[in-house]
Amino acid sequence: MNRKEFLLSEIKENPSDPLNYYMLALEYKKEGEETLCKALFNQLIDQHERYLPTYYTYGSYLIELAEEEKAEDVLQKGKILALEAGHEKMAKEIQSLIDFYC
């Protein structure tokens, strides 16, 4: 069983764990599966809004794809959620990404 198959089986067994979706999105990114990767990141934002690692990683990926406007939207939302959760360091890292690329 390869990594992607493993993650898919983990999602099937525990569909409420955002980490498995996040890791699968990274696998799709690594494989160049842009559509699947973006779909999973968007699903994470919709279904697991408070899973903060999504925002920095997805925002960075959108910047790589030259989708700066969408990246800024994702990053701004992540920054707000990070601040609300008391994760000031994460909010600062997200803001740095916004300042440098968006």
Hey, what are 94's tokens? 């997200």
Rounded to whole angstroms, what are the CA distances from 30 to 16, 25, 34, 65?
23, 9, 9, 13
Closest C-alpha to 72, from 54, 56, 90:
56
What pLDDT shows up at residue 1?
Answer: 81
Tens of pLDDT, residue by residue, the chain (102 residues): 899 999 999 999 999 999 999 999 999 999 999 999 999 999 999 999 999 999 999 999 999 999 999 999 999 999 999 999 999 999 999 999 999 998
- Give the domain ranges of the chain: 3-101
Topology of the domain covering 3-101: 1.25.40
Single pTM value for the model: 0.94
Helix (H, G, I), strand (E, B) or coil at 32: coil
pLDDT of residue 19: 97
